Structure 1
Amino acid sequence: MATLNVPPVPPSPRDDAIALYTAFKGFGCDTGVVINILAHRDATQRAYIQHEFRTMYSTDLLKRLSSELSGKLETAVLLWMHDPAGRDALILRQCLTAENLEATTEVLCSRTSSQLQYLRQVYHTKFGVYLEHEIERYASGDHKKVIDESKTDPLLLFGLRLKEETSLFLDTKMATLNVPPVPPSPRDDAIALYTAFKGFGCDTGVVINILAHRDATQRAYIQHEFRTMYSTDLLKRLSSELSGKLETAVLLWMHDPAGRDALILRQCLTAENLEATTEVLCSRTSSQLQYLRQVYHTKFGVYLEHEIERYASGDHKKMLLAYLTIPRSEGPEVNREIAEMDAKVLYKAGEKRLGTDEKTFVQIFSERSAAHLTAVDHYYNSMYGHSLKKAVKKETSGNFALSLLTILQFSANPAKYFAKMLRKAMKGLGTDDTRLIRVIVTRAEIDLQHIKAEYLKKYKKTLNDAVHSETSGHYRAFLLLLLGPNQ
């Protein structure tokens, strides 16, 4: 229910950066141009404009805006330019240092649990201090006590009720994860896990039964409690107690979604597994990719773009880099005229000519939304008698073709795409457990219910039955818990 009005086909971040620079030039700033651009761009687009401005003019756009604007307009525009979590961190920093506890309370108590979890990380990254320590310093009495108690209560973080929520990476409406209506506290879960680790051998059944029934926020709290109570990292302890495919699956499950994607990409890139790299990058939304880039750099100290430059090549590299860095609309709106025009442009760039104009394919596939590409496919089929997918297979090859097909199939029907990936993991002799784990773990809190339905529809077998026949032991039990009841 946002009020932000973004053009269906906005100018590129480069064009916006040039327009802003032009508005700054000369005597006085053309303020109308500046606010007309920035007030019609979403968070992802604003981030890319800042990146382009810095690249082109070796100047920080925020500093330039600060020098060109003034007063309340400057305050409003500069705040608007931050990503949501960075903005909240800045607001809290300003409120706390000014001892404005009313505004501090307003911000903290009007954010969801997962937003606050991420906000704590961002605050520490930006300012080098923990938000909890700042609250300890500036708040007092029962007001502070609510916050102190929230550190060990899963139903209370900074005084918030735990809400049913959606976040950047998670959409629980079609998740298969089965969380108890009133789960034990993170402290109780930490104690139960520690008890399961004690003695000779690990009580693996207890471990997976706890972790497979906790959502991302709850798993993060459990890790925090375990470290606080036993001065031990829970992931390291799990790694020492579990082994094989179960260890791989559980450790991947324990990460937050963006951190998990970053880890998967790091492993895939260093192993030069470009097929898996393509699967992950080309099946994430524009805003997810923006956040993923930040997390990747924070975790590994290198830019994801630089890693792709290093390991990918040719048109495949160009496609991945463009898809990773160019902002796209994520809404359902489609300009039918532009979609029809794009279909014609792609035909001229491919089937109509000798050779293929790969640059045009990269441009359209990286700049258009999922809904728009689906409409392009419809027009392509109507005008030329076969699908855009068939044209891509005919005109391109290798990993470049794989990237285009992944984007196209994911745009049309994400659940159908992942059902196909799961079938691929289990078809034939042997099982691709890495792919099987990756898809189930990353989609369990998003759309695995849809994927199960698509799998049954296409392959006439339930996904639970397929996984059961391809796995064994506690590894099987864990995956089946994530899958939920058999259909």
Structure 2
Amino acid sequence: MAQVLRGTVTDFPGFDDRADAETLRKAMKGLGTDEETILTILTSRSNTQRQEVAASYKTLFGRDLLDDLKSELTGKFEKLIVALMKPSELYDAYELKHALKAGEYGSSLEDDVVSDTSGYYQRMLVVLLQANRDPDTGINEAQVEEDAQALFQAGELKWGTDEEKFITIFGTRSVSHLRRVFDKYMTISGFQIEETIDRETSGNLEQLLLAVVKSIRSIPAYLAETLYYAMKGAGTDDHTLIRVMVSRSEIDLLNIRKEFRKNFATSLHSMIKDDTSGDYKKALLLLCGEDD
């Protein structure tokens, strides 16, 4: 049975874009800034509603809401609020651009990836960018067996590794098919596919193949792990924390929270509370929702 994906942020009932715009202007006008009002409004509206508030803000005051927020806020809190205000698709594009050294707007994402990467890592990324997986239309057990055997032959049974075989199978087969392939691979080899990837590959390619496998198994579980390691240990990877919390808040953050609690014996809420501070913490906790 397919997992039902649920976010923590939904359309705010009784939404009034003009009232929100006026409240935000009041929060930033004059001496001092009412950060509490800003974070309360912007974490409780959906991204679509935030864009409507921004449009009304410009209509009412002739000012750009994002520019005003940037001028009034600072640090990690500012970065979080700015991320919330970007239209969802533009935010994803922005994050991809900044992950690429040579990334430029107006250029092809594939061209930028090719210019900034190399080898099998590059080829796996290019395959994924085609977004051309087989449709999920039922499982062919013979094909499952064939792919599992091919991966076994390409890795554990081969002197060296046939990376191309991994790239083709991981990048083009359907999600449900690959889940069955991973199970069959374990039966055939006695190893989890992740163990083979760890032994047979290294560097960026290894990280990418592991990310693909974990995402195939469960995107919420993979992102729960991403959030955990962003906060675990000395220092917090705030860029990753903001990116996942913002980009998944309307998609599957409730599912991520559930996987976080299941896999790490603590709640996402508790870890955010322990690892962040100030208005930044308050805003993240509101996005996260209740403590599990």
**Shorter-chain TM-score: which interval?**
over 0.9
Q: Does 1:450 align with 2:255?
A: yes
Tell me what 1:198 maps to. 29
Q: Which amino acid aligns with 2:240?
A: R
Tell me, yes or no, if the aligned pair for 1:350 and 1:356 is still in contact at 8 Å: yes
* Partners of 1:175 and 1:447 within 8 A in 2: yes
- Is 1:182 the counterpart of 2:30? The answer is no
Match of residue 277, structure 2, among 472, 476, 480: 472
Q: CA 1:329–1:201 in 2, change beyond 3 Å: closer, same or farther? A: farther
Instruction: Tell me which amino acid in the other structure corresponds to 1:181.
Output: P
**Which residue does the alignment assign to 2:203?**
398
| 1:35-50 to 2 correspondences below 5 Å | none
Q: Structure 1 counterpart of 2:282, which letter?
A: A
2:74 corresponds in structure 1 to: 243
The structure 1 residue matched to 2:125, chosen from 316, 320, 328, is 320
Q: CA deviation at 1:231?
A: 2.2
Is the aligned partner of 1:483 residue 2:288? yes
Please tell me the residue identity of whatever aligns with 1:176. T
| Aligned sequence identity (%) | 36
Conserved? CA contact 1:178–1:484, under 8 Å? no
Rounded Cα–Cα distance in structure 1 between residues aligned with 2:207 and 2:72: 38
In structure 1, C-alpha distance between the alignment counterparts of 2:254 and 2:46, rounded to whole Å: 16
CA deviations on 1:191-235 (whole Å, 9 max, x unpaired) are: 111111101121111111111000121111111111222222211
1:438 aligns with 2:243: yes
Structure 2 spans left out of the alignment, 5+ residues: none
Q: Which 5+ residue runs of structure 1 have no aligned equivalent?
A: 1-170, 273-295
The answer to whether structure 1 residue 341 and structure 2 residue 166 are counterparts is: no
Which residue does the alignment assign to 1:213?
44
The one-letter code of the counterpart of 2:8 is: T
Question: Which residue identity does 1:451 align to in structure 2?
Answer: I
Q: CA deviation at 1:323?
A: 0.6
Structure 2 counterpart SS, 1:174: coil
Separation in structure 2 between the aligned mates of residue 421 and residue 326 of structure 1, nearest angstrom: 23
1:352 aligns with 157
Partners of 1:209 and 1:405 lie apart in 2 by 37
**Partner deviation per Cα, 1:363-416 (whole Å, 9 max, x = no partner):** 111111222211110110011111111111111111101111111101101111
RMSD of equivalent CA atoms: 1.8
Match of 1:33 in 2: none
Distance 1:327 1:248, change over 3 A: same
Residue type matched to 1:464 in 2? H
* Aligned counterparts of 1:240 and 1:328: Cα–Cα separation in 2: 44
User: What CA distance in whole angstroms lies between the structure 1 residues aligned with 2:145 and 2:19?
Assistant: 58
Counterpart position of 1:263: 94
Report the CA distance between 1:479 and its aligned residue: 0.3
Deviations 1:341-367 (A, max 9, x none): 111111111111111111111111111
Q: Structure 1 CA distance, aligned partners of 2:266 and 2:10?
A: 22
Q: Is the 8 A contact 1:172 1:445 kept in 2?
A: no
Please give the alpha-carbon distance, in whole angstroms, between the structure 1 residues aligned to 2:55 and 2:146. 53
Letter in 2 for 1:248: K
Aligned length: 290
Matches within 5 A, 1:166-181: 173-177=5-9, 179-181=11-13
Contact 1:381 1:388 in 2 (8 A): yes
**Retained in 1: the 8 A contact 2:127–2:171?**
yes
Is the partner of 2:235 in helix, strand or coil? coil
- Comparing 220-229 with 301-310, greater Cα deviation is found at 220-229
- CA 422–352 in structure 1, closer or farther in 2 if over 3 Å, else same: same
Amino acid at match of 1:252: A
Letter in 1 for 2:260: Y
Other structure's SS at 2:44 match: coil
SS of the aligned residue for 2:100 comes to helix
Quickly say closer, same or farther: Cα 1:172–1:378, change in 2 above 3 A. closer
